Structure 1
Amino acid sequence: MAEADETEKPHYHGHRARLRARFLESGGAGIPDYEILELILFGVFRNGDVKPLAKALIAECGSLGAVLSAPAERLAKVPGCGEAVIAALKVTREAGLRLLKEDAMQRPAISNWQALLDYCRAALQHEGIEQFRILFLDRKNQIIADEAQQRGTVDHTPVYPREVVKRA
């Protein structure tokens, strides 16, 4: 009878525990994007196999970063991706951006060009429209604020110097 119970278990039985353990052991190194998405989705779906949804999201958007940055409307087109999934993905993206921003704000932005580029790349690389952003620095060249001054189209953003100076 015990053998019958074992054969009836789904193929993904124990997958969550194994994936969590692999992630914690490796610190995330070598874990594919779809498995990172699975780990995020574990918080939304208490039970069941989330691998098909994670792979569908990657297939729709192209990469983990693109999934996290995709508009809610695009994510909602993927079967199984409801409001809770979209919220979890958006919270994950926001947490990452805040981490990068905090890291950039704790170091001189100008003297550490790579940290500034990493922050800007993370904040802007998956945006569907161009933005003109203003980084406000203190006299130690640390970021005080980062604001999107203007938003444009896919390939054009109008910039009005008067508005930039007024905001500064």
Structure 2
Amino acid sequence: MTKGPVPQSDDEAELPFPTGDTMDERSFFAEQPAKANTLTKPTALSGAAGKEEHYHGHRERLRSRFRDHGDTALADYELLELMLFRLIPRRDTKPIAKALLDRFGSLGAVFGAPVALLQEVKGVGEAVALDLKLISTIAHRTLKSELRGKQVLSSWSSVIEYCHAAMAHETREQFRILFLDKRNALIADEVQGLGTVDHTPVYTREVVKRALELSATALILVHNHPSGDPTPSRADIDMTKMIIDTAKPLGITVHDHIIVGKDGHASLRGLRLI
């Protein structure tokens, strides 16, 4: 019995060259020295090299546009394609970039998507999916670092930007708390609970207990609506008021409860619901 073909991962499928530990994008596109008896007639290998040379030219053009004119010169799929060059060095990444945006709808949603869902897109294997999540995590940490040591209430736009980046595209509800000191500077940012697509259990005693452990004097409550609509529910309002009533006698102020969705955010304080 003859053996069938060896299965390949999505990252390696349809590669025009065999992969190896010693090959990277630079060595792949480097001009190779001529060898005896190899220039007499075209081969499948030379045809593949010509195809890759076309991709290489396209990649260089995109890099030049980005270098000379910045991100405004590129469409969303081109920015994603430009990043995928290093993650998938030996394939045409334009179809993959477009497929990711078609599947998830926006750049933010691509980076916010779970690893398992990213791998459902043809051409995206586990390694690429993890790299996308790594880039997303670095972006979140960068935004979070902007809040460190600052008076959060005077950097409200940064708070909203961070919460949206961290939570807007989560597929399950999560309840997050920003713990602040007496100067309203950030002490800690913690996810207190994970729930389902439309509910997260919140335990008032645990919220107040953790605030006391951290010596926090103020809180900002945050949770997301995976549906995309940030409109607060009756349960959201009641839960917030319960935490306020429990925390206030202990000298802990709840500044706001922010609800984040793909379509924006809602502030219970801003809506005068608390």
Which TM-score applies when normalising by structure 2? Answer: 0.56
Question: Residues 37-76 of structure 1 correspond to what in structure 2 (within 5 A)?
Answer: 37-76=80-119
Give me the whole-angstrom Cα distance separating, in 2, the residues matched to 1:69 and 1:135. Answer: 21
> Which stretch of the first structure deviates more once superposed, 127-136 or 27-36?
27-36
Give me the whole-angstrom Cα distance separating, in 1, the residues matched to 2:116 and 2:155. Answer: 37
Instruction: Provide, for residues 66-89 of structure 1, a one-character-per-residue CA deviation record: whole Å limited to 9, x for no partner.
Output: 111111111111111101210210
Could you tell me which of 58, 63, 68 is aligned with 1:25? 68
Give me the whole-angstrom Cα distance separating, in 2, the residues matched to 1:106 and 1:52. Answer: 43
Asked if the contact 1:41–1:88 (Cα under 8 Å) also holds between the matched residues in 2, the reply is no
Could you tell me which of 128, 138, 146 is aligned with 1:85? 128
Could you tell me which of 108, 126, 146 is aligned with 2:169? 126
User: Across the two proteins, how many residue pairs are aligned to each other?
Assistant: 164
Instruction: Provide, for residues 39-87 of structure 1, a one-character-per-residue CA deviation record: whole Å limited to 9, x for no partner.
Output: 2211112233110111111111111111111111111111111012102
- Give the residue type in structure 1 aligned to 2:119: A
Give me the whole-angstrom Cα distance separating, in 2, the residues matched to 1:157 and 1:22. Answer: 45
- Partner of 2:193: helix, strand, or coil? strand
- Give the residue type in structure 2 aligned to 1:147: E
Aligned to 1:15: 58
Structure 2 runs not aligned, ≥5 long: 1-45, 212-274
Cα distance, 1:106–1:36 mapped onto 2, change above 3 Å: farther
Asked if the contact 1:135–1:146 (Cα under 8 Å) also holds between the matched residues in 2, the reply is yes
Task: Measure how far apart 1:24 and its partner are.
Answer: 2.2
Aligned to 2:267: none
Asked if the contact 1:40–1:89 (Cα under 8 Å) also holds between the matched residues in 2, the reply is no
Could you tell me which of 136, 144, 151 is aligned with 1:101? 144
Q: Does 1:140 align with 2:199?
A: no
Identity %: 53
Asked if the contact 2:179–2:187 (Cα under 8 Å) also holds between the matched residues in 1, the reply is yes
- Partner of 1:91: helix, strand, or coil? helix
Structure with the greater alpha carbon radius of gyration: 2
Give me the whole-angstrom Cα distance separating, in 2, the residues matched to 1:29 and 1:117. Answer: 24
Question: Residues 129-168 of structure 1 correspond to what in structure 2 (within 5 A)?
Answer: 129-168=172-211
- Give the residue type in structure 1 aligned to 2:69: S
Task: Measure how far apart 1:36 and its partner are.
Answer: 1.6
**More helix per residue:** 1
Asked if the contact 2:65–2:73 (Cα under 8 Å) also holds between the matched residues in 1, the reply is no
Give me the whole-angstrom Cα distance separating, in 1, the residues matched to 2:114 and 2:200. Answer: 20
> Which stretch of the first structure deviates more once superposed, 56-65 or 25-34?
25-34
Task: Measure how far apart 1:25 and its partner are.
Answer: 2.3
Instruction: Provide, for residues 79-132 of structure 1, a one-character-per-residue CA deviation record: whole Å limited to 9, x for no partner.
Output: 111012102101110111011101122432112211111111111110111111
Which TM-score applies when normalising by structure 1? Answer: 0.88
- Partner of 2:154: helix, strand, or coil? coil
- Give the residue type in structure 2 aligned to 1:110: L
- Partner of 2:178: helix, strand, or coil? strand
